[in-house]
Amino acid sequence: MVGDAPAAVDPGDDVGVSERAGTVPDVIGIGLAGGQGVRARPLTLKAPGYLRSKAAMSFLGRRLITWVAQLLSAEGIKRYYLIAHGKENRYQIKMLIGYGEHLGIDVQYSPVKYDALSTGSADSALRMLEHWDLSGTALVFPTDSIIDFDLEPMVRHHLKSGAVVTIAGMTRAPTEVAEKYGVLLTDPGGRVLDFVEKPTLAELRDHFELKDEREFELLPLLTNAGFYMVDCAALRGLAGHPEVASLRRSRLDFGKDLLPWLAAGGHHVTCHVVRRIGDLGNVEDYLDTMVDVLHDRFASVTRHLGPPYDPSAHVWIAPESLAMRDVQSGRTLAEKLAEGLVTIGPAVRIGRFSEIGPGVVISESNLDDDIEVGEGAYITRSQVRDGAIVGPGARLRSAVVGSMAEVRSERSHPTVIEDNVALGDEVVVAPGTRLAGNISVYPRLKVPSGIRVPRGAELTDPADVLAYL
């Protein structure tokens, strides 16, 4: 690796409260929705072989593309161009936000005819800049991440520096970065000198030559958050460069190709530190981001959740669920809370018309609408989607339960789902089953009792299930 330690670039006013909508009316949004959600499966599968766009994944009761549009429009971006590669990305997003009227924004979509020509995110973006004849300042953003930042200081930094691209960067500890994130090496002013692709801990130790382990652990490393402020006219001018044209014939991705090429060629690429980025591309990151939001560590998102039921514990419960009676005790959730018959919090959101039985403990979790949780169930650091059933005595820890899934369980024969296990929509798990350790169960499968599934396995069809019996 080359270069000095990443500079701790001062985010300036980004720590304060932005001047909100209307502050930067000339910035447009360019959304990238081109992937197939492989890392996030089964969250990105509606049924076997039926893809769900990552932008259409549910997060805290709303679809992710809705969250992104609300967060960015609150910062003043009202005009959007969505580069959607593939039928699922284009039409599922279009069904959710349409042309933006109900969100108070204007949305256009990339033409289908360009899908087959794309060789990567940057290639598609360059083609669309020409198609839409864009020449001003734009924020290029992923549709599978959320951001906590103030736009106006980032725009000011971008324009003052004269950069072709300003990368939104997030500082992370070496243990977070190792083999997961690329590192930006910058000068003291924030200009990006080099990109290091997913270094190992050993490579980081060797590069920065820090013998003190505590000093190494506290080393702030700048990582690429995937949000880019771009000078559209400058990028269009570079699109015809012979080296760019050559790259585009095989692959031109922003993070892997275009940005390193710009920096290596002396074009000004700079970094602006933002408060936080939430990556929702896999189960572990999805749950970590959800818990951060529920603990109010993601101010831009938390403010959109509405008034909490219990502000001190960061608990949100819809009135319809507070009024729901369970069949065991006949008491409403509000009554059970008052009598200490259930424990909810800290950091919990419960949507509408969900039935919570007596003796239930829920912490650091999100439960959507129309969910049933049986007596004595324990749920922590988990996401439970609409219409799911969690049986009596079940234990969920760091789990994602899909829509209308059934975690069947009995108090004498409890089911345990833990350590980043994801159950797809309409999965049925038999009582007494234990699934642990990065296991994925695809939609509509039935998981029988007595099954022994190794850590990291994917159950994609009935044959996989039979193989572990």
Enumerate the domain spans of the chain: 12-281, 306-467
How many Å apart are CA 226 and CA 279, to the nearest integer? 10
Tell me if 67 sits within 8 A of 56, measured CB to CB.
no
Phi/psi region, residue 370 (left: phi>0; alpha: psi -120 to 50; beta: rest), is left
Nearby residues of 135 by Cβ (< 8 Å), 6 or more positions away: 232, 233, 236
Among residues 33, 87, 38, which one has the least CA distance to residue 63? 33
How many Å apart are CA 435 and CA 85, to the nearest integer? 35
Tell me if 308 sits within 8 A of 314, measured CB to CB.
yes
Please list, residue by residue across 298-330, b when 16 or more beta carbons sit within 10 angstroms of its beta carbon and e when fewer do: bebbbeebeebbeeeebbbbbeebbebebeebe
pLDDT at 209: 75
The three-class DSSP label of residue 27 is coil
How many Å apart are CA 16 and CA 80, to the nearest integer? 26
DSSP secondary structure code for residue 259 in this structure: H
How many Å apart are CA 214 and CA 18, to the nearest integer? 35
The length of the chain in residues reads 469
How many Å apart are CA 331 and CA 157, to the nearest integer? 56
Tokens at 322, concatenated: 């507070």
pLDDT at 78: 94
pLDDT at 245: 95
**DSSP β-ladder status, 416-423 and 137-142:** unpaired
- Tell me the CATH number of domain 306-467, given options 2.160.10, 2.60.40, 2.40.10, 1.10.10: 2.160.10
pTM: 0.88
Among residues 180, 413, 385, which one has the least CA distance to residue 279? 180
Residue 130 burial (CB count, 10 A):
11
How many Å apart are CA 82 and CA 111, to the nearest integer? 10
Give me the average pLDDT of each 10-residue run along the chain (469 residues).
42 39 71 67 59 82 93 95 85 90 95 91 96 96 92 95 96 87 88 88 80 75 93 96 96 94 96 91 91 94 94 97 95 98 98 98 98 98 97 98 97 96 96 96 94 94 94
Dihedrals phi, psi of 332, to nearest 5 degrees: -75, 165
How many Å apart are CA 221 and CA 446, to the nearest integer? 44
Q: Rounded to whole angstroms, what are the CA distances from 189 to 55, 162, 183, 271, 389?
A: 34, 13, 16, 9, 53
Residue 108 burial (CB count, 10 A):
14
CA 313, 319, 323: angle at the middle one, nearest 5? 110
At the fourth CATH level, which superfamily is domain 12-281?
A: Spore Coat Polysaccharide Biosynthesis Protein SpsA; Chain A (3.90.550.10)
Q: DSSP of 320-362, one letter per residue?
A: HHHTPBPTTT--BHHHHHHTTSSEE-SSEEE-SS-EE-TT-EE
